[in-house]
Amino acid sequence: MNQPNKSEQFDVESLRKKVSELRAADEKHDPVNATVLNPFARQIAEQFRNDSYSPTMLIGQFRLFELLAMLGIGLGVGALFAPIDLTGFFARFALVAWGSTLTVLLLQVADTYQIPSLRGASRTAKRVFVCWTIGFLLTASTLYLVEREPYPLAGFIAWFVTSAAFLFLERQLTAFAIRHWGRNGVMERRAIIVGGGEPAKQLVRQLEQQPDNDIRICGIFDDRNSERSPTVVAGYPKLGTFAELIEFARLARIDMLIIALPATAEARILQLLRKLWVLPVDIRLAAHANRLRFRPRSYSHVGAVPMFDIFDKPIRDWDSVAKRVFDIVFSVVGLLLTWPIMLAAAIAVKATSKGPILFRQKRHGFNNEIIDVLKFRSMYTDLSDQTAVKAVTKGDPRVTSVGRFLRKSSIDELPQLFNVLRGQLSLVGPRPHAVLAQTGTRKYVDVVESYFARHRVKPGVTGWAQINGLRGELDSDEKIRARTAYDLDYIENWSLLFDLKILFLTPIRLLNTDNAY
């Protein structure tokens, strides 16, 4: 095996490790609250408030659609030309499903499920036809050998021609739709260029030259003055400084940050990453201007433009769909199991103290957005604290007798299942904290720099930190640091099995009520 030469010194894992070390060494650095976004940049951000349609999601749905369509055509033609009884139908269904799946796999291997291939359907028509022919011949020959009654030749011809025509026509329509969505901003990857000057100009030009470019450049951010970094780069305005970029990416639905700096400028890149890694976006370092040359596997590509993958957005695309299905299913199950408890809690709250049954508190949600989180009211109405500036302590006189029991048992959190169904929370994730929550006289972000990185995913009703005993009051720097560390560990190691483990451990861990009051 060839050993890397000395020019291959850029190591993404090493860079990530250095970012972590710098964060740990500078606990009081606050990249989030430093700067207010300028009016022009805010106006641009408002144009990108709506979500775009993920190309990855489109490809997955298109692949599934073609599989089901080919399965339906195969079964439909068979029902017309070679009807069979129910017992034979199941065997035919299995064979046609196998053949449809095989065809989709062949289309995948032939790279026909890529956005450029779908956009240029005429260019890939031959490959699609060859894949369908191979899939059909294998399926038809197996069907001919297996079925007791001979499958008529007319049925095979109708099946082959109908499916081939379908694949050609629907791919032409899909190509038209993708081009239309691209022009109207429905399907695109929104990117911000981080860094200006000549490297940014070269990057923009290379991206614009891609024939099937799905990148929408939303603007450029740079700390340097207009002499070193012009206010307009390759036709795109410089919207502000790196500090303003944080607020911009929280307002707009951004998919990617592309750092337009040479890999040799490691110190400056490190300083940038310390600020930017808390955002739920892909972070890429453009390698278009590097004089160093690395092996092909070192890069990913946007079109033909090479990039180093520094950080990836967590729980994205189909993972987010799987997690959402998980949330809905288990939330509905939770409501069905706990509705008698919730009804009893609501009656108890209403009967023992004046005021509403539910308490709404503003908390930080995904990407630092503000959401209203539901709880059963556990305090006297006139003593309730919407801001949570003063944390609830042991024996707190503001808490009602019923509220004390609800808090210790965590029954007060059950209405958050409705937040989950609304899509504001997930069942499992970092616990959402009140907007003004603090430890002592300091906000959490003043204690631990990486605090807002918890918000790269949706907050949860329960979480990894709570499973590890970190419930209740955060009255010391050590507790908020420990909770944040567990939350970041969860985000970096997320899986559905991990969620399932946390969900089923939650009732067991709730038996420990030492820190719940």
Task: List, as one string, the DSSP characters of 458-485.
Answer: --EEE-HHHHTT--S---SHHHHHHHHH
- State the helix-helix crossing angle for 266-276 and 242-251, rounded to 10 degrees: 40
pLDDT at 267 over 50: yes
Domains of the chain plus CATH, in order, are 12-52+188-313 (3.40.50.20), 55-184 (no CATH), 318-509 (no CATH)
Decide which of 355 and 475 is more confident: 355
pLDDT at 210 over 80: no
Is pTM beyond 0.85? Reply is: no
Tell me 355's DSSP state.
S
For the ranges 161-170, 271-280, 312-321, 468-477, the maximum mean pLDDT occurs at 161-170
Q: What pLDDT is stored for residue 218 in this prediction? A: 87
Residue 324: pLDDT band (50, 70, 90) is very high
Tell me the pLDDT tens digit for each residue of 227-246: 666 778 888 888 888 888 88
Decide which of 317 and 322 is more confident: 322
How open is the CA angle 451-455-458, to the nearest 5 degrees?
145
pLDDT at 8 over 50: no
pLDDT at 33 over 50: no
% of the chain surpassing 90 pLDDT: 28
Q: What pLDDT is stored for residue 300 in this prediction? A: 72
Mean pLDDT of 212-230: 77
The greatest distance separating any two alpha carbons of the chain, rounded to the nearest whole angstrom, comes to 85
| Tokens describing residue 302 | 């946007």
Q: What pLDDT is stored for residue 34 in this prediction? A: 44
Mean pLDDT of 9-23: 58
pLDDT at 6 over 60: no
Q: What pLDDT is stored for residue 5 in this prediction? A: 43
Instruction: With beta carbons less than 8 A apart as the criterion, state whether 212 and 189 touch.
Output: no
pLDDT at 23 over 60: no
pLDDT at 9 over 60: no
What does pLDDT average to over the chain? Answer: 82
